[in-house]
């Protein structure tokens, strides 16, 4: 790894965690950048600002609890930091840093005026009562008020958080533009919940036509991850005529060879679908023979091993970083195209731009999401012309826009 000299002092070269994936990706893309931009690449190997805070709250039983919070502003050359708030029991600074970096590239690639940032609180949200959750979000807003109120960091929902939490933050800042992903009643967008899934489905449709040379109608699809993004992706694709034959989440997976009905996808949980059809294990869904595999859950599910065993012809990355660098190489060696996350799941952040522009126009929002197709076509052209993967082409394009800013 040639970027060892750029490792920040607070990380160990022996154990970099998710940040190592980022440095490997820089090594893969740097040779393809224009010569005048390469000296600027080290700027991207270090986050601009990283902060760890203590988030103390009083629980319902009167006891004090302390939770570790993280905020990373990776790069602000194109605008204020944009990125969601993640609340899980396993998130840490390394994951937050990696997710902030992905936001930098995502915003640049789709040409919206934001930099990349992310924040997180290490807590199991399911273990919190409603009152404790509200207290935690309020204390979070207090910890970061000097970044939220002036708009230096603009959060949104992510794993473990939702529109109600964003409304709580708005109630603390009293600044409409300080947070996005709010409920409609406090200035949020109609259709915000399905925006990212709609964008993933749109990309899948375009990629099916370009890569598979067939219409999305009739394509067999598996969606690994049935949260907000995965479920809406499955619903939108089914409405377009795709045959969604497998869905899965942390509880397991379900298989229906004839394709799940739209009603089933809208109203049923994965355990309910598994009980009514064929049950699969959590990992088995990756290896179902399909035209399109959509990993929409967590990072790193397609690595050198699993990427070598999938039976899909096209991968559309709905989750953040679901394919490792080794997995990307393994897919390329097998002739399987993977649409990178920084393009495939950009629908949500594009709609955030619409929310901040206001007033909301659903036609404008859809037009902007469908505009991803222009970027996708350019990425395909770059990859074909240079003999590189779509991931490398997308990252090269994003980094050129960032370093030129």
Residue 178 is part of a domain; what is its CATH number? 3.40.50.10860
Residues 56 and 175 in one domain: yes
Domain that holds residue 281: 193-345+389-404
Tens place of pLDDT per residue across the chain (405 aa): 454 445 565 555 665 566 566 566 666 666 665 666 566 666 667 888 999 999 999 999 999 999 999 999 999 999 999 999 999 999 999 899 989 999 999 999 988 899 999 999 999 999 999 999 999 999 999 999 999 999 999 999 999 999 999 999 999 999 998 999 899 888 877 766 788 898 899 999 999 999 999 999 999 999 999 998 999 999 999 999 999 999 999 989 999 999 999 999 999 999 999 999 999 999 999 999 999 999 999 889 999 999 999 999 999 999 988 999 899 999 999 999 999 999 998 887 777 666 666 655 666 666 777 778 889 999 999 999 989 999 989 988 988 888 877
User: How much is the pLDDT for 29?
Assistant: 60
DSSP codes, 194-233: HHHHHHHHHHHHHHIIIII-S-STT-EEEEE--SHHHHHH
Q: Which of 170, 186, 202 lies at the terminal end of a domain, its last residue? A: 186
Classify the C-alpha dihedral 29-35-38-40 as positive or negative: negative
Question: Does residue 140 fall inside a structural domain?
Answer: yes
User: How much is the pLDDT for 404?
Assistant: 79
Q: Is the peptide bond before 283 cis (omega within 30 degrees of 0)?
A: no
Residues 246 and 264 in one domain: yes
Residues 6+ apart with CB under 8 A from 320: 99, 102, 299, 341, 345
The 3-state DSSP class for residue 400 equals helix
Distance CA 103, CA 106 (A): 5
Question: Does residue 267 fall inside a structural domain?
Answer: yes
Q: Which of 166, 186, 206 lies at the terminal end of a domain, its last residue? A: 186
User: How much is the pLDDT for 132?
Assistant: 97
Q: Which of 126, 152, 186 lies at the terminal end of a domain, its last residue? A: 186
Q: Are 247 and 226 within 8 A, CB to CB?
A: yes
Residues 6+ apart with CB under 8 A from 177: 151, 154, 356
Question: Does residue 102 fall inside a structural domain?
Answer: yes
Question: Does residue 244 fall inside a structural domain?
Answer: yes
User: How much is the pLDDT for 399?
Assistant: 84
Q: What is the pTM assigned to this prediction?
A: 0.84
Question: Does residue 352 fall inside a structural domain?
Answer: no
Residues 204 and 113 in one domain: no
Residues 245 and 99 in one domain: no
Residues 134 and 243 in one domain: no
How many CB atoms are closer than 10 A to CB 168? 20
For residue 295, the cross-strand partners are: 224
Question: Does residue 134 fall inside a structural domain?
Answer: yes
Question: Does residue 253 fall inside a structural domain?
Answer: yes
Residues 260 and 143 in one domain: no
User: How much is the pLDDT for 36?
Assistant: 60
Catalytic positions are 118
Distance CA 403, CA 245 (A): 42
Q: Are 301 and 286 within 8 A, CB to CB?
A: yes
Question: Does residue 231 fall inside a structural domain?
Answer: yes
Distance of alpha carbon 334 from the chain centroid = 25
Residues 242 and 321 in one domain: yes
User: How much is the pLDDT for 45?
Assistant: 73
Residues 142 and 202 in one domain: no
225: left (phi over 0), alpha (psi -120 to 50) or beta: left
Number of domains observed in the structure of the chain? 2
Residues 210 and 160 in one domain: no
Location of structure tokens 């160990």: 12
H or E stretch covering 153: strand 153-154
Residues 6+ apart with CB under 8 A from 377: 210
Residues 225 and 131 in one domain: no
Residues 173 and 275 in one domain: no
Residue 14 token pair: 């022996």
Residues 181 and 203 in one domain: no
Residue 130 token pair: 């409603």
User: How much is the pLDDT for 349?
Assistant: 79
CATH number of the domain that 258 lies in?
Answer: 3.40.50.720
User: How much is the pLDDT for 3?
Assistant: 47
């Amino acid at each position: 790894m040639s970027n060892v000299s750029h490792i920040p002092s607070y990380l160990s070269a022996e154990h970099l965690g998710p940040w190592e994936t980022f440095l490997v990706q820089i090594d893969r893309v740097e040779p393809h950048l224009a010569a005048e931009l390469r000296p600027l690449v080290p700027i991207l190997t270090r986050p601009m600002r990283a902060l760890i805070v203590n988030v103390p709250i009083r629980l319902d039983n009167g006891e004090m609890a302390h939770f570790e919070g993280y905020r990373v502003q990776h790069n602000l050359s194109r605008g204020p930091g944009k990125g969601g708030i993640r609340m899980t029991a396993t998130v840490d600074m390394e994951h937050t840093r990696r997710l902030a970096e992905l936001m930098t590239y995502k915003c640049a690639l789709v040409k919206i005026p934001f930099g990349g940032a992310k924040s997180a609180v290490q807590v199991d949200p399911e273990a919190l009562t409603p009152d404790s959750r509200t207290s935690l979000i309020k204390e979070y807003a207090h910890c970061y008020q000097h970044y939220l109120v002036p708009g230096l960091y603009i959060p949104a929902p992510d794993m473990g958080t939702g529109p109600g939490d964003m409304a709580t933050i708005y109630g603390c800042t009293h600044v409409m533009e300080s947070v996005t992903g709010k409920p409609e009643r406090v200035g949020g967008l109609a259709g915000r919940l399905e925006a990212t899934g709609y964008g993933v489905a749109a990309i899948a449709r375009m990629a099916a036509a370009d890569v598979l040379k067939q219409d999305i109608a009739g394509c067999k699809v598996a969606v690994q991850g049935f949260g907000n993004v995965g479920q809406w992706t499955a619903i939108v694709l089914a409405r377009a005529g795709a045959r969604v034959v497998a869905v899965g989440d942390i509880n397991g997976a379900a298989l229906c060879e004839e394709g799940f009905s739209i009603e089933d996808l809208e109203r049923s949980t994965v355990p309910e679908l598994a009980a009514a059809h064929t049950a699969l294990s959590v990992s088995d869904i990756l290896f179902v023979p399909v035209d399109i595999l959509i990993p929409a859950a967590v990072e790193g599910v397609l690595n050198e091993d699993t990427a070598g065993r999938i039976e899909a012809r096209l991968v559309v990355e709905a989750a953040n970083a679901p394919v490792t660098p080794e997995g990307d190489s393994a897919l390329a060696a097998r002739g399987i195209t993977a649409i990178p996350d920084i393009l495939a799941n950009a629908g949500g952040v594009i709609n955030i731009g619409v929310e901040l522009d206001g007033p909301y126009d659903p036609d404008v929002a859809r037009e902007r999401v469908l505009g991803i197709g222009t970027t996708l076509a350019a990425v395909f052209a770059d990859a074909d012309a240079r003999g590189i993967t779509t991931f490398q082409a997308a990252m090269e394009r994003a980094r050129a826009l960032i370093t030129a800013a």
